[in-house]
Structure 1
Amino acid sequence: MVAVVAEVPLVADGEFTVGMEFSSREAVIRAMKEYVIQRSVDYRVYESELLTFYAKCTHSGEGDHSKLDSNTIIEVIKLLIEADPSLKMKSVIAEMQSKFNYTVSYREAWLAKQKSVEKIFGGWEASYEALSIWFEAMCHKEPSAIVHFETMPTYQGDDLVNDIRVLHRVFWSYYPCIRAFRHCKPVVHVDETHLYGKYKGYLLVAVSQDGNNNIAPIAFAIMEGETSDAWHFFLSNLRQHVVTRDGVGLISDRHESINTVVACSNGAWSPPRAFHMFYIRHIESNFLRKFKAPYLQKFVVNIGYSRMVCEYEVRFQRLREQGEAYTNWLN
């Protein structure tokens, strides 16, 4: 087989013809790989020059798809990854099966996807290097946006590396989010989720709710973990820049770090300026984990949703009648 460089599409049946031209040497090799993979054959390269590429087919049916490397997979899934960077491995494998009638391994698909994501969106290092530039551009475009960085020194072994600092944590909020909170209910929910990637950590989000029960995100942070220092960083910035009014309810899970920060906030998150509450679903979940009694979960939820003291006392007594261990735990 001989293919010369320029760009002319393959004929309708996918066969090569004498005189076909391609746009580049890489385009020739890519077309060759797709050709042999689709037909379950292989080829051997006899000579490769700058503008020409000589190869000969091996015996049909004996090919092991050695030409189906990660670069070939990347070319096939590139548009899919651009549309959905979270594309599942099973979808990558299915796409290769559909196109080449060959099932690539999970590892081959995973490696190709990682390379494709980096090729399209940039690598982890480049993304982190651009983070400060991105925030600077955001604040330039919208001067009322809030961004607060904290960095830390870097070490090589036990030696301090001069003039290099790395991201420790960052808090940010967009001005439309800050402005929106002025028209929301006086309630703030805070929660976190793990970051899964090369650089670990947590994404923290604060949300509120408007009069139509729509959720409004109001602040964000990336931090190293659920430590007291990290939560102090997030909650103090939240209080200073976004949740500036008093009489708000702060709803969170029962993580000890949050309780510590609230208790030591010099009244910023304590009555009468704020009232710290817990998610009922967390209490319900912890109750079930403790007592393995799903038939009592509704009692706990109803107690939490009581709107009057008398209503609360009636529901609390009903649970106590089931066993004082349950109400002792709630207390």
Structure 2
Amino acid sequence: MFSIYHQVQSQVSVIELYVEFKQLPLVVEEPDPIKEWEGYNSESEEEFDSNYEIVDSNEGRDHVYSTRLTLSQNHSKLNSDTIAEAIKSLVKADPSLKIEEVQSRFNYMISYRKAWLAKQKSIEKVFGGWKSSYEVLYTWFEAMCQKEPSAAVEFESIIPYDGNKIAPDVRIFNRVFWTFYPCPVSQDGNQNIVPIAFAIVEARSNGAWEPPRAFHMFCIRHIASNFLRRFKVPSLQKLVVKIGSSKTMREYNMRYQKLHEQGEIYTEWLDKIPRSQYALAFDEGYRWGCMTTNLVECINSVLKGVRNLPVTALVKETFNRLNELFTRKRAEAEAQMNVGHVFSEFVITKLQAYQRAAGNIQVNCLDMQNEIFEVREIPIGVEYRVNLRQCRCDCGDFQVDRIPCLHVFATCANQHLDWQVYVNEVYRLDEIRKVYRARFRPLGDPTTWPVYQGPRMIPNPTFKRVCIGHPKKPRRCRICGGNGHRCSRCPQDVGSSRGGSVASAPY
């Protein structure tokens, strides 16, 4: 077991040179300083102005001129190689270093291109070359699988052709999927994110993001954002969020009917998305209450800056940073168990709030044999049915979160039952510790790794940016998703002069 921590401080010194020229008092006519210096300077007036700044400082003295010498943006000595060497420690600590931060390290504003080239060269010096990284990727994965046999790696490559013949001993990298044994779940019982697996693909597409034994769900925030962009009705956008977040079918049908009353066009748009992929009431318990992509996006904080690295360095960083994450989370779970806690902090906070609210609930037994009860909230008079055997309550919280709701607490208190048996085992600290029980094994020195005998891996040349600057993209309509026209000229826009039908792509 090992952990890696990066603590790097870097400071770049800046030297400023000031030169004073004092005018002789016997001279009657004050000369032009630039004309005087032209005889002693081989530079032209334009070159001089770009390299020197003349400041008139006559405070307390007569005819004194001060110049601050600063380097120009095209100074030949301060090239991208020099800058790359100066920022190596910064790039090693944070590979996602912004270009603006690179520019601010020096006494003048260097060009964006020079700063970008310097950062790329510095990354190559610290983490390895961009092209050579593909060649050692197979070797690194073989070493990982040898040290950790439970790890899984799957490559997908393209066979290159030299004319009509297959190029020997060469493969073009297309995709790679890998996972480590200590990553079996996506979220522990304390709402902590745990990576399942990783993949490097050519682009975000439906074909690239379809893992096995997974259920595709849509983020309710993205659906609501697309709804607002399509119809421009903020009040109904909130209703769409409530429809997706409904925990029971009764709530869903009631809110869905409200949207239908506002206009049939809105429900037709929503019906194009399968209910099981956006509505909590129809997800069959797969969401566990997670309605947004925060579950996925939060892992970016763990792997911050990794995507800016060469491919092999990227894979290494996932290994090192996950080792640090598992070591820390395992210690936190053990510390809570040592002080006598049974459930996670997230569950304890919820259970305490439910216990306080369960005092104003009246409980009636309907079927003791099947453990069915009827509860009534005294202040508002709303009635719910609780089925302890099936772990269901009409409020929906019991079956969604898998922890007792306030109605279950009231029922257990009335019938002298232990409420802890109705808390799902994933929220127990001993189960959370099992998530992080496995240790990452060090891979050892590269000289001890097995010699790779397979084909040489190269990057896909079609993905290389061939032009300078940001890649150009065609216009894309926000209504129909088509290219080549704006949304104001979309033929499918109902409000446009051309008319048309409703957009066919709601998400």
TM-score range, shorter chain: 0.5 to 0.7
- Could you tell me which residue of structure 2 aligns to residue 215 of structure 1? 193
Deviations 1:172-217 (A, max 9, x none): 1110112xx2xxxxxxxxxxxxxxxxxxxxxxxxxx2222222221
CA distance 1:134–1:69, change in 2 (3 Å) = same
- Could you tell me which residue of structure 1 aligns to residue 133 of structure 2? 127
- Could you tell me which residue of structure 1 aligns to residue 211 of structure 2? 235
- Could you tell me which residue of structure 2 aligns to residue 148 of structure 1? 154
TM-score (structure 2 length as normaliser): 0.38
Larger radius of gyration: 2
Contact residue 147 and residue 170 of structure 1 kept, 8 A: yes
- Pick the aligned partner of 1:176 from 152, 172, 182: 182
Rounded Cα–Cα distance in structure 2 between residues aligned with 1:160 and 1:221: 27
Residue 247 of structure 2: SS of its match in structure 1? coil
Rounded Cα–Cα distance in structure 1 between residues aligned with 2:247 and 2:270: 17
Deviations 1:117-175 (A, max 9, x none): 11111111111112111211211221111111122211345653122112221111110
What is the correspondence of 1:20-59 to structure 2 with a 5 Å cutoff?
39=17
* Structure 1 unaligned blocks of 5 or more: 1-33, 42-56, 182-207, 244-249, 252-276
Task: Give the C-alpha shift of residue 327 in structure 1.
Answer: 1.2
Rounded Cα–Cα distance in structure 1 between residues aligned with 2:117 and 2:266: 51
Task: Give the C-alpha shift of residue 218 in structure 1.
Answer: 0.5
Deviations 1:269-293 (A, max 9, x none): xxxxxxxx32212221221222122
Task: Give the C-alpha shift of residue 40 in structure 1.
Answer: 8.9
Identity within the alignment, %: 56
Rounded Cα–Cα distance in structure 1 between residues aligned with 2:112 and 2:16: 20
Task: Give the C-alpha shift of residue 315 in structure 1.
Answer: 0.9
Question: 1 or 2 for the larger relative contact order (CA 8 Å, sep ≥6)?
Answer: 2
* Structure 2 unaligned blocks of 5 or more: 1-12, 20-40, 53-70, 272-507
Q: Is the aligned partner of 1:78 residue 2:54?
A: no
- Could you tell me which residue of structure 2 aligns to residue 329 of structure 1? 269
Q: Is the aligned partner of 1:280 residue 2:286?
A: no
AA matched with 1:148: E
- Pick the aligned partner of 1:225 from 190, 199, 203: 203
Rounded Cα–Cα distance in structure 2 between residues aligned with 1:79 and 1:320: 59
AA matched with 1:147: V
Residue 171 of structure 1: SS of its match in structure 2? strand
Rounded Cα–Cα distance in structure 2 between residues aligned with 1:91 and 1:226: 29
Residue 242 of structure 2: SS of its match in structure 1? helix
- Could you tell me which residue of structure 2 aligns to residue 13 of structure 1? none
Rounded Cα–Cα distance in structure 1 between residues aligned with 2:202 and 2:267: 36
Higher normalized strand content (fraction of residues): 1
Rounded Cα–Cα distance in structure 2 between residues aligned with 1:151 and 1:77: 35
- Could you tell me which residue of structure 1 aligns to residue 411 of structure 2? none
- Could you tell me which residue of structure 2 aligns to residue 111 of structure 1? 117
CA distance 1:106–1:321, change in 2 (3 Å) = same
What is the correspondence of 1:243-258 to structure 2 with a 5 Å cutoff?
250-251=215-216
CA distance 1:317–1:228, change in 2 (3 Å) = closer
